[in-house]
C-alpha cells in the first residue's frame, strides 16, 4: 500500500499486526500510539490490549504462536488472528511504520470531520472551526519521535534472548538443509530450508518429476524426514511405483511388473525397513481445472490432524496446475499474475507451517533449437508467462537439456535466483540415471567435474 492510499481497511490492520508480532520496534510504537478509538471493533481492541500487556511485562513483541495461546479462550480474537495469518503479507517494518503514522492521521481526520459535521448540524460554526484548527495544529506536530525507534546496542541482550528462545523451540524439529545434489548443497552451506519456497523449472520431458521424487526419497531415507507429495498430474499408481523403485534402486518396470526375484524382494524389504522418515502421496485423478492452493492447505491440515505434526517437506508436482486461493477466474492474459499469486500463497504456507515447499514448474518454450544451444539456460526472463515469478520464491532453479545431453543422460542446472546464494553462481552439469529412478547419479557427476577440471 502507498502512504497516500486509504489505510482505513482491515487489510492494512492485518499487515500492521502481523508486523507488530514479528518486530519489537513496531510493537513498541504500536503500544505507544495505538488508541482504542483508532480501531474498528472490539476484537481489534482486545488484540491490542493483549499485545500491550505482554509487551509491558516482557519488553518484547509476542510471537504469533504466543498470541494464539494467550487468546485461546477468546473466540473472536482467535478468529481475528487466523485472518491475520491468512490475509496478511510480509511487509518491511520501515514501510509499516510510515503507513501506521499515515493511518493515525487518516483516523484523526475522519474523527475531526465527523465532529465538525455534528457541530455544523447544530449550527455551531465556531466550534466546528475550532475542531478544524485543532486538527491542523495536531497534524503539523504529529510524528514518531526518534526515541520510538529501537537501538541496536541497547536491545542487544533482549533480542539475543528472543532469538535463542525461538531457535530452542525449533530445535525439536529435524533439520532440513539439503537439496541432495552435491553442488547445490555446497552452495547452501547447511542453511535451514524450512519456511522457504523452491521452484524447479524445466521444459517438458527434462525431468521435473524425477527431481521432485529424488528430493522426497532422499529426505525420507537419508535424513528421516516426513514428506508430503502432491501429485497434480499423472496417475497415483505411477508416482507410488516410481517412489518405490527409487527407494530400492530397481527400475520402475521391474517394480510395476513384479519382476524382482525373491532374493531381490527380500533385500528391498530390508532397505525399506531402514527408512526412518515417511513419504505420503496425495494424487488428484480427474480434477476439473487447476487445484487451488487453499485445497493444498486444507490437505496439509488433514495431515496434521491425522499424524499430529506437519510434514517437514511439501512437494507439489506440478505448480503450473495450481491456482491461487482468491477464487478469482483468471483470463489467459492474467496467467502470469495468477502464477505469481500462487507462488505468494505457497511462500506464505511455507512460513506458516515452517516447512520446505518444493514446486516443479513446466516452462512453455517450444523452440527446440534454442534449447539445443547449450550456451542458453532458462531464467525468469525467457519464460514469458513467469516474469515476476522469482519475487516470492527463495530459489528458482532451472533444468536445461539439449537433445545431445538427453542421449548422454546429463543436464545443466542453472540457479536463476537464490536469495541466500552469491550472485552469479555458475551453471553446472550433472549426470542422471532415470532407468533406476535416480535423478542425480553422484559417481558419474563427479566424473563430469573431474573431466571439466582436467580440460
> Residue 302's pLDDT is what?
92
Higher pLDDT: 315 or 288? It is 315
- Neighbouring CB atoms inside 10 A of 99's CB total 20
Q: Tell me the pLDDT tens digit for each residue of 72-129.
A: 888 889 889 988 887 777 778 888 888 999 999 999 999 999 999 998 889 888 888 8
pLDDT tens per residue, range 21-46: 988 888 989 998 999 999 989 999 99
Tens-digit pLDDT profile for residues 396-443: 999 999 999 999 999 999 998 888 887 667 789 999 998 888 899 999
| Separation between Cα atoms, residue 129 and residue 23, nearest integer Å | 40
Report the distance separating Cα 248 and Cα 264, nearest Å: 9
Residue 172 backbone dihedrals phi, psi, to 5 degrees: -70, -20
> What's the pLDDT at 89?
75
The edge-to-edge listing of strands for the beta sheet with 313-317 is 278-283, 226-231, 313-317, 356-362, 197-202, 395-400, 410-418, 428-431
Instruction: Tell me the pLDDT of the chain averaged across its residues.
Output: 85
Alpha-carbon distance of 378 to 240, in angstroms, equals 30
Cell 473466540 locates to: 75
Structure confidence by residue, pLDDT tens digits, 92-103: 888 888 899 999
d(CA 441, CA 452): 17
Q: Is the pLDDT score of 206 beyond 50?
A: yes
pTM: 0.64
What pLDDT, on a 0 to 100 scale, did the predictor assign at position 57? 83
Residue 445 predicted with pLDDT over 50: yes
pLDDT in the model for residue 384: 60
Query: Secondary structure of 78-98 in the HEC alphabet?
Result: HHHHHHHHHHCCCCCHHHHHH
What is the DSSP annotation of 319-371?
A: GGGEE-TT-----GGGHHHHHHHHHHHHHHHHHHHT-EEEEEEE-----HHHH
Q: At 300, which helix (H) or strand (E)? A: helix 293-307
Residue 230 has pLDDT above 90, yes or no: yes
Amino acid at each position: 500500500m502507498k502512504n497516500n492510499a486509504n489505510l482505513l481497511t482491515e487489510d492494512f490492520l492485518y499487515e500492521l499486526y502481523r508486523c507488530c508480532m514479528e518486530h519489537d520496534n513496531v510493537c513498541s510504537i504500536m503500544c505507544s500510539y495505538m488508541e482504542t478509538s483508532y480501531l474498528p471493533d472490539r476484537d481489534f481492541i482486545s488484540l491490542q490490549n493483549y499485545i500491550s500487556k505482554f509487551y509491558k511485562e516482557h519488553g518484547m513483541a509476542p510471537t504469533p504462536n504466543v498470541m494464539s495461546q494467550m487468546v485461546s479462550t477468546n473466540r473472536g480474537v482467535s478468529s481475528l488472528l487466523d485472518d491475520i495469518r491468512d490475509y496478511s503479507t510480509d511487509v518491511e517494518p520501515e514501510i509499516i511504520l510510515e503507513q501506521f503514522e499515515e493511518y493515525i492521521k487518516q483516523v484523526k481526520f475522519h474523527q475531526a470531520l465527523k465532529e465538525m459535521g455534528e457541530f455544523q448540524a447544530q449550527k455551531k460554526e465556531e466550534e466546528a472551526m475550532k475542531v478544524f484548527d485543532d486538527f491542523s495544529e495536531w497534524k503539523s506536530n504529529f510524528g514518531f519521535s526518534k526515541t520510538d525507534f529501537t537501538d541496536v546496542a541497547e536491545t542487544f541482550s533482549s533480542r539475543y534472548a528472543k532469538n535463542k528462545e525461538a531457535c530452542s523451540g525449533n530445535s525439536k524439529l529435524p533439520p532440513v538443509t539439503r537439496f541432495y545434489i552435491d553442488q547445490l548443497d555446497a552452495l547452501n552451506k547447511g542453511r535451514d530450508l524450512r519456511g522457504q519456497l523452491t521452484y524447479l523449472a524445466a521444459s517438458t520431458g527434462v525431468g521435473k518429476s524425477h527431481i521432485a521424487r529424488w528430493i522426497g526419497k532422499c529426505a525420507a531415507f537419508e535424513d528421516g524426514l516426513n514428506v508430503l507429495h502432491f501429485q497434480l498430474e499423472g496417475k497415483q499408481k505411477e508416482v507410488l511405483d516410481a517412489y518405490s523403485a527409487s527407494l530400492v534402486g530397481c527400475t520402475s518396470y521391474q517394480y510395476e511388473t513384479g519382476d524382482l526375484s525373491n532374493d531381490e524382494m527380500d533385500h528391498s524389504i530390508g532397505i525399506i525397513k531402514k527408512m526412518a522418515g515417511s513419504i505420503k502421496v496425495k494424487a488428484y485423478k480427474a480434477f476439473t481445472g487447476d487445484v487451488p492452493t487453499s485445497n493444498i492447505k486444507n490437505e496439509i491440515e488433514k495431515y496434521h490432524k491425522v499424524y499430529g505434526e506437519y510434514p517437514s517437506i511439501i512437494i507439489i508436482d506440478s505448480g503450473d496446475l495450481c491456482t491461487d486461493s482468491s477464487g478469482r477466474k483468471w483470463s489467459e492474459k492474467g496467467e502470469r499474475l495468477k502464477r505469481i499469486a500462487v507462488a505468494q500463497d505457497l511462500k506464505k504456507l511455507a512460513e506458516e507451517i515452517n516447512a520446505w515447499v518444493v514446486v516443479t514448474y513446466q516452462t512453455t518454450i517450444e523452440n527446440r533449437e534454442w534449447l539445443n544451444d547449450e550456451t542458453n539456460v532458462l531464467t525468469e526472463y525467457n519464460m514469458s508467462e513467469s516474469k515476476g515469478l522469482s519475487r516470492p520464491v527463495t530459489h528458482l532453479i532451472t533444468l536445461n537439456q539439449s537433445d545431445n545431453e538427453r542421449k548422454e543422460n546429463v543436464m545443466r542446472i542453472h540457479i536463476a535466483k537464490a536469495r541466500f546464494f552469491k550472485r552469479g553462481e555458475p551453471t553446472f552439469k550433472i549426470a542422471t540415471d532415470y532407468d533406476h529412478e535416480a535423478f542425480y547419479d553422484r559417481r558419474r557427476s563427479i566424473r563430469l567435474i573431474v573431466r571439466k577440471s582436467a580440460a
